[in-house]
Amino acid sequence: MDLDRNKMLRHNPIIVGEEAKRAQAAADLAGNLPADQIDPETFFMEQHWDLYSEENHETWRRLYAKRIHSLREQASNVFLTGFDAFGLPADQIPRLTTVNDVLRSTTGWQSRPVPGYLPAKSFFACLAQRKFPTTMTIRPPDELDYLPEPDIFHDVFGHVPLHADPVFADFLQTYGQAALHTTTDHETALSRLFWFTVEFGLVHEDGRLKIYGSGLMSSVGESNWALKGDGERQPERRPFDLDKICATHFEIDEYQPLYYVLESFEQLRDAMVSYAERVLNDANVTV
């Protein structure tokens, strides 16, 4: 366990215990199993909301207050519709049971608590069943602006609102099905696709650029950069092209120099359906 992980644990007693160890061990083991033998239910745990500390809730409050100011101006209408449907609290970490009540009535997705990082195959198995692995930890209060791994703010505030949209919900499940059964030829391509869409995607709406990627939703600085540049420089913005995305390297330690721009979420869903057919045909899989 590295130092960053130890630091997270000190601020998040919610994930300490036999239940969390069991769930993490199951997820780690599943990463080596055939796709049809993976049971995502074994990865999940209870949220144990009452174990969050006042410091944890204060971190959520500070992150929410910092991001909500510009969200209405920058975020996709599709994201904002989902965000408003959840009514995420500004003053405390959300209860996933409440989040899931909304998802159940819209797209059938669920936000399921996990103790930490899941191996890629375990993560994809969850997506294939419309279950989003949701990190229970929240970042330390002295690391509000950047964290190298996801936390509950990134996952719930940044990801989950789009899961209430039927078109995006279909895209993400199709992505999970393809990624779960992929051959090695497609692994890198699919990781790039996730990065440039789910994490750092832009979309044209109302005659201008807006953000929808969760990495942008949870970063005020990179959202400003993606949409406006820094006054002297601009990132490169290219029209969405799935095959070109799958051939594009991405950066993990700095603001992206390149973003891909959708014209609609239907464009993303339809391109994913076509690509998934190729992946599953190569793997001789029917879903």
Active site residues: 154, 159, 199, 218
Separate counts of helices (H) and strands (E) for the chain: 13, 6
Closest by CA to 275, choosing from 171, 195, 130, 163, is 171
Q: What's at 193, amino acid-wise?
A: L
CA distance 96 to 84: 16
Q: Give the alpha-carbon dihedral of 14, 15, 20, 23, to 10 degrees.
A: 110
Instruction: Give Cβ neighbours of residue 152 (< 8 Å, ≥ 6 apart).
Output: 60, 93, 134, 135, 136, 137, 138
CA distance 128 to 105: 19
CA distance 262 to 280: 24
CA distance 63 to 219: 10
To 10 degrees, what angle do helices 77-86 and 54-74 make? 140
CA distance 135 to 68: 21
CA distance 27 to 41: 10
Contact 142, 151 (CB under 8 A): no
